[in-house]
């Protein structure tokens, strides 16, 4: 009698075991995808900030006189062009708006100049 019950139950047990294993593999794949996505986004964000800082420093060579800038908004265009050329993958990954990029540029400019507001000559 046990052999008949076992023969009847075995396909059901294997089906349930396959379902559980599939669910676990799917969950593991989701965890890996989430981790990799977060890692890639963090790298893109770090690359973007680094490129903005480099762009601001490069633009200051052309636009700053004695540590002061006549028109701080004049560097936005060149820095933005530099950033878009330097880290196109980060721009594509993060998809920041022009306004966000300008705020980041302003923030890095303030960091470099050591002030909270743009310095005019």
The answer on pLDDT for 116 being more than 80 is no
The secondary structure of 30-81, three-state, reads HHHHHHHHHHHHHHHHHHHHHHHHHHHHHHHHHHEECCEECCHHHHHHHHHH
The answer on pLDDT for 73 being more than 90 is no
The answer on pLDDT for 85 being more than 70 is yes
**85 domain-assigned:** yes
Q: How far apart are the C-alpha atoms of 7 and 1, rounded to whole Å?
A: 10
**102 domain-assigned:** yes
Domain that holds residue 66: 2-113
**64 domain-assigned:** yes
User: Is residue 68 classed as helix, strand or coil in its secondary structure?
Assistant: strand
**121 domain-assigned:** no
**60 domain-assigned:** yes
Query: pLDDT band at 1, cuts 50/70/90?
Result: low
Beta pairing partners, 110: none
The answer on pLDDT for 120 being more than 60 is no
- Mean pLDDT (whole number) for 13-36: 91
Q: Please state the domain count of the chain.
A: 1
**What is the distance of C-alpha 92 from the center of its chain?**
9
């Amino acid at each position: 009698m046990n052999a008949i019950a076992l023969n009847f139950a075995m396909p059901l047990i294997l089906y349930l075991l396959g379902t559980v294993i599939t669910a676990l593999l799917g969950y593991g794949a989701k965890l890996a995808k989430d981790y990799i996505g977060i890692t890639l986004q963090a790298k893109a964000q770090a690359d973007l900030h680094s490129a903005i800082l480099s762009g601001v420093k490069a633009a200051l060579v052309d636009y700053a006189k004695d540590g002061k800038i006549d028109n701080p908004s004049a560097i936005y265009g060149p820095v933005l062009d530099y950033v878009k050329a330097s880290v196109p993958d980060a721009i594509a990954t993060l998809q920041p708006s022009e306004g966000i990029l300008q705020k980041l540029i302003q923030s890095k400019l303030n960091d470099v100049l050591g002030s909270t507001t743009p310095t005019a000559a």
